[in-house]
Amino acid sequence: MPFINFSKDEIQCKIVYYGCGFCGKTTNLLYIYNKTIEDVRGKMVSIDTDGDRTIFFDFLSLNLGKIRGFDIRVQLYTVPGQVHYDATRKLVLKGVDGVVFVGDSLKTQREKNIESLINLAKNLAEKRLSIRTIPLVMQYNKRDLEAEGAEILPVEVMEKDLNSMLKAPYFTASALKGEGVFETLREISKLVVKDVSKKILLDGRGRSAGTGAI
């Protein structure tokens, strides 16, 4: 649910990083926070437990600059990945405009990735949103662990498991090292802004609501 403010010529969008526990959602946001200048980002808010598990969500607000005269402000959220925090995940998904699904490349996490994707589809459906139509980007994280001797899933297997039907754009990543983090963010932002622009142009509300036009 984008919020378009014609008084400030600003569009606010909500992007949620989804995935199973410990797949690296918070690490993505932390890397973005650490690598962006203060002028374009707000505070990073984390509600987690002592064991670094997100209990509610992480939040980071970013200003992406101007597109056709509108300031684009994205709000990045993560959800808690643990199965029993489903109620919290539903709360965070409220008003979502785009999703980054972070898949854990570790072989041991294969089933958990699939479970989490099914859970995402179910929770979106409850909000009358479809996983097939919402702007979605896949990120296959922790690719760097291969060099450390961990057994990781080949990208083709992850694509088959998670993306064979959805055909969403995907990126391999190592959020800890920053590889693929900004590429993922850029792609989902692009998809969300495109989606918002399309919706406004389609119903012509952009013109009737104010002076600006997307």
Partner 1 sequence: MDIIVSEEDIKRIDACLNKMLNKSAAVSAFLIDRSGQLISNCGNPSALDVSAFSALTAANFGATSEIAKLLGEEEFNLLFHKGQNENVYFSVVGENMIIVIVFDDRTTVGLVRLSINMIMDELLQILSPIYQKGE
Cα distance between residue 88 and residue 142, in whole Å: 25
> Which CB sits closer to partner 1, 9 or 183?
9
The one-letter amino acid at 55? I
Exposed (0-12), middle (13-18) or buried (19+): which is 213, by Cβ within 10 Å?
Answer: middle
Radius of gyration of the chain (CA): 17
Among 4, 32, 100, 137, binds partner 1 (CB under 8 A): 4
Residues within window 36-55 making contact with partner 1, judged by CB under 8 A: 42-43, 45, 47
Task: Tell me which residues in 67-96 interact with partner 1 (CB under 8 A).
Answer: 73, 75, 77, 87, 91-92, 94-96
Beta-carbon contacts of residue 104 (< 8 Å; ≥ 6 apart):
19, 20, 22, 23, 24, 112, 113, 141, 142
Which C-beta is closer to partner 1: that of 75 or that of 105? 75
Contact (Cβ atoms closer than 8 angstroms) between residue 143 and residue 176 = no
Could you say which of 29, 188, 192, 200 contacts partner 1 (CB under 8 A)? 200
Nearer to partner 1, 135 or 206 (CB): 206
Binding site for partner 1 (CB under 8 A): 1-8, 12, 14, 42-43, 45, 47, 56-57, 59, 61, 73, 75, 77, 87, 91-92, 94-96, 196, 199-200, 205-206, 209-211
